[in-house]
Structure 1
Amino acid sequence: MRTFGKWLGRVLLALILAAVVVGLWKREEIQRLWAVNTLFDEGRIVQNFSHMDRAFRTAPLPRGSGAPSDLPHGAAHDLPEGAERWLEERAVTSLLVMKEGAIRYEEYFQGTGPDDRRISWSVAKSYLSALFGVLLDEGAIASIDDPVTKYAPMLTGSAYDGASIRNVLNMASGVTFDEDYFDFNSDINRMGRVVALGGTLDDFAASFTDRFADPGATWQYVSIDTHVIGMVIRGATGRSVTELLAEKILAPLGLERDGFYITDGAGVAFVLGGLNFTTRDYARFGQMILQDGEYGGAQVVPADWIAASTAPSAPTAPGKTRYGYQWWIPSDAHDGEFFGRGIYGQYIYIDRPAGVLIVATGADRRFRDTGAFEQNLEMFRRIAQSL
């Protein structure tokens, strides 16, 4: 019995030591997985969204050597009646309103500030659309009707084989992908764990083999479509999206402070939702889009691409919010009204005829509630009309 006790003690000690060794060896992965699994927890979400580099690998997006031009200020403007309730209900963390290129309102909430680099979530898709338009104009990509496999051959044999670039720009690939943010085992949440644990999104995209519809036949929001656009860009140019975005979009705009992209284990940018900038830097991008791609006297993005990408070209269902090339258009939009949108309350809203740009960041854990989006759109429109 005494011999067995000694043996059992040695076994337990060995198991404890092994656990400690594995814990140290996998410490970073364990920390990142824990951070991802608690990313949206009440009490943590606001600070987490300002410090995403604590949870994920990142690649820097430098502000460059030149200081950004200051965003001019116009006459201060009060928000419409009911805005205070909206700010609270929708857990808004920052709100910046511009008209005719001048700031009319800027405020930060829930302990955030102007230096916070807030996560874009899917507003990043609209940035990628702008970059794509530049590369198309430069001739790096021949046509949006080319098959994605022309530039991303590793997708041959996957569900993306036969889809065109236009299809993925429109979120009309037909690829079966579960976008349920509240299902732990959904594809969108599996993708988050791939990023956190150092996997590769190229392999993840190539692993999908099923379609629910033929490419171009119908619209369904499929975030991995945007990663495929990134694969096309990298295949066409031989360069990273991080480098290209910094050079062709960010450098002409200038940044308040360095931004960063979340990346996967191979250092590939999480292009479908991984940008992190200050609210003012999101405003610089939005103002450039509002101005038909022009900023600071330079044509950053071709005007014809801005027009094409913000037009409702996707095969969305009648009466539903419409979609272009990674931009949203309200179902009842007037000409020149469109927006970029990210989960938990991230928005770049543009009303071009009114000359109004609104940037909102949030930590809205009820963003999927019935009426939440409509409430946001109504407030943006009321703000624009009040200026």
Structure 2
Amino acid sequence: MRSFGKWLGRILLALVLAAAALGLWKIEEIRRLMAVNSLFEPDRIVRNFSNMDAAFLHREIDRGDGPVSPLPAGEPMQMPERLDRFLTDRNATSLLVLSGGKIVYEDYLLGTGPKDLRISWSMAKSYLSALTGILVDNGLIPDLDAPVTDYVPELEGGAYSNATIRNVLNMATGVTFDEDYLDKGSDINRMGRILALGGEMDTFAADLTETFAPPGEQWKYVSIDTHVLGMVLRAAGGKPVVDLMSDYVIRPLGVERAPYYLTDGTGVAFALGGLNVTTRDYARFGQMFLQRGRWQGNQIVPADWVILSTTASAPTSGDQMGYGYQWWLPRDARPREYMGRGIYGQYLYINETADVVIVLTAADRRFRDRTVQRDNLELFREIADRF
């Protein structure tokens, strides 16, 4: 009878511990969901954008043990007189300007600093494009017109059944996906909640079934296309995107701080917008592209891919901006002028002719206003014209 009592006590203790562990797990899940719901609140947004790892599942991208690559200071340049007002109006958190590969202007605002790992949002898409070009060059993706289902069979029967790798690069898949960040019921925000609750992004993509046009016919910006691109890269490269990005981009760049990706519950990178990098390291990536993929004497991204991916090739129409392979081009783009862009005012502006790279990070609630977008471009061009 005494041994039965001990056995029963152990069972009860195990149940209590299991219940406590389950409770802690639920508390963590609820905390992440609350973080999503308050992510863009005016009194929290700046701090949140520098501390995404405090609220979400994430994984560091190994920078290796190599030295930090040089990003030398140049002679400080006089900026446009309206810059201070611009930075205030845009709720900017940092602005860095490179001319000739040297820092000629650098400022941090609203309590942020050079060591902050700032959320990229959709600037991350341009990083994934670079990784795609590297895998293509290595023969791991021999044909951009191959169906994505050749690499990701679980997408068979869904919205991506007939889409090619080029279609997802161009965002011309015709997949129906609501990208309205201001509508809490939109697909993009449903996806955010799945991320917060530790769900599976791959399942979310595979479950999409609706299309609005055949692949390749119409351009529409849908971020889930970039996640599908990430699925293809994982299959082709045989590693998670986090590891591929470390091997082929982050280590060769010699970044100052190891960046990180937000991840879903299975550890899959939120590759369409979950990259967190310092402002100076965004500038390193931009300068590498300006130099046609070369950095510190090494060819990181193939030069022909740099040209191909930053040339307008998507079937945009009317007053839409030009779009390449996960890079934006102004409607009136100057020669070799292109951008990575993210919501709330994240920009990586590259003007090869002027030899200028500009990084802007912000918490700008007016980021969707076309007048604001145009004003941002005009300021970048004003700066570039000084060189």
Q: Normalising TM by the smaller chain, what interval? A: over 0.9
2:112 matches 1:112: yes
Deviation string for 1:95-148 (max 9, x for gaps)? 000011111000000000000000000000000000000000101111100000
Partner of 1:202: 202
Which amino acid letter does the alignment assign opposite residue 111 of structure 2? Answer: G
* Residue identity in the other structure for 1:71: L
AA in 2 matched with 1:95: L
Corresponding position of 1:236: 236
8 Å contact kept, 2:237–2:244: no
Q: 2:7 matched to which residue of 1?
A: none
Q: Which residue number corresponds to residue 373 of structure 1?
A: 373
Alignment check: 8 A CA contact 2:262 2:269 kept: yes
* Cα separation, partners in 2 of 1:22 and 1:322, compared to 1, 3 Å: same
Instruction: Tell me what 2:364 maps to.
Output: 364
CA distance in 2, matches of 1:370, 1:224: 23
Alignment of 1:143-182 (within 5 A): 143-182=143-182
Structure 2 distance, partners of 1:245, 1:30, is 30
Question: In structure 1, what is the Cα distance between the partners aligned to 2:258 and 2:177?
Answer: 33
Call closer, same or farther: CA 1:279–1:25 in 2, change over 3 Å: closer
**Partner-residue secondary structure (3-state), 2:188:** helix
> For each residue in 1:193-225, what CA deviation from the matched residue of structure 2 results, as whole angstroms up to 9, or x when unmatched?
011100011000011100011100000000000
Q: Is the 8 A contact 1:344 1:362 kept in 2?
A: yes
Distance 2:21 2:117 in 1: 35
Q: Cα gap change, 1:358/1:206 in structure 2, threshold over 3 Å: closer, same or farther? A: same
Cα offset, 1:268, TM superposition: 0.4
Residue 103 (structure 1) aligns with: 103
Aligned residue in 2 for 1:61: 61
Distance 1:128 1:377 in 2: 23
Q: Distance in 1 between matches of 2:130 and 2:370?
A: 31
Aligned pairs for 1:286-325 (under 5 A) are 286-325=286-325
Identity of aligned residues (%): 60
- The answer for the alignment partner of 1:123 in structure 2 is 123
Q: CA deviation at 1:236?
A: 1.4
Q: For the residues of structure 2 that align with 1:162 and 1:40, how far apart are their CA atoms?
A: 36
- Partner residue in 1 for 2:39: 39
Cα pair 2:170 2:324 within 8 Å, conserved? yes
1:64 shift after superposition:
1.6
The residue aligned with 1:8 is none
Aligned equivalent of 2:15: none
CA distance in 2, matches of 1:62, 1:239: 14
What are the Cα deviations for residues 243-280 of structure 1, in whole angstroms up to 9, with x where unaligned?
01001011111111111000001100000001111100
Residue of structure 2 equivalent to 1:382 = 382
Alignment partner, residue 9 of structure 2: none
Deviations 1:214-243 (A, max 9, x none): 100000000000000001011112211100
- 1:327-346 to 2 correspondences below 5 Å: 327-346=327-346
Write the distance in 1 (CA, Å) between the matches of 2:192 and 2:321. Answer: 26
Partner residue, 1:9: none
Residue-by-residue CA offset, 1:317-351 (whole Å, 9 max, x unaligned)? 13321100000000000110000000001111000
> Aligned partners of 2:305 and 2:138: how far apart in 1?
12
Q: CA deviation at 1:381?
A: 0.6
Q: Which amino acid aligns with 1:208?
A: L
Deviations along 1:341-367, one digit per CA (max 9) or x if unpaired, are 000011110000110000110111121
CA distance in 1, matches of 2:27, 2:279: 33
The TM-score with structure 2 as length reference comes to 0.93
8 Å Cα contact 1:62-1:257 kept in structure 2: no
Give the deviation of 1:22 after TM superposition: 6.8
Task: Give the residue type in structure 2 aligned to 1:339.
Answer: M
**Structure 2 counterpart SS, 1:371:** helix
Runs of 4+ in 1 over 2 A off after TM superposition: 19-25
2:258 corresponding residue in structure 1: 258
CA contact (8 A) 1:120 1:342 kept: yes
In 2, distance between residues paired with 1:69 and 1:238? Answer: 28
Question: Quick one: distance in 2 between partners of 1:341 and 1:256?
Answer: 22
Deviation at 1:298, TM superposition (A): 0.3
| DSSP 3-state at the match of 1:59 | strand
- Counterpart AA for 1:112: T
The one-letter code of the counterpart of 2:138 is E
Q: Aligned residue for 2:71?
A: 71
Whether contact under 8 Å (1:179, 1:223) holds in the other structure is yes
CA offsets 1:142-161 (integer angstroms, 9 cap, x no match): 11000000001100001000
The question of whether the paired residues in 1 share the 8 Å contact of 2:33 and 2:196 is answered with yes
Aligned partner of 1:221 in structure 2 is 221
The one-letter code matched in structure 1 to 2:174 is G
**CA–CA separation in structure 1 for the residues paired with 2:37 and 2:139:** 42
What residue identity is the alignment partner of 1:257? R
Residue in 1 aligned with 2:142?
A: 142
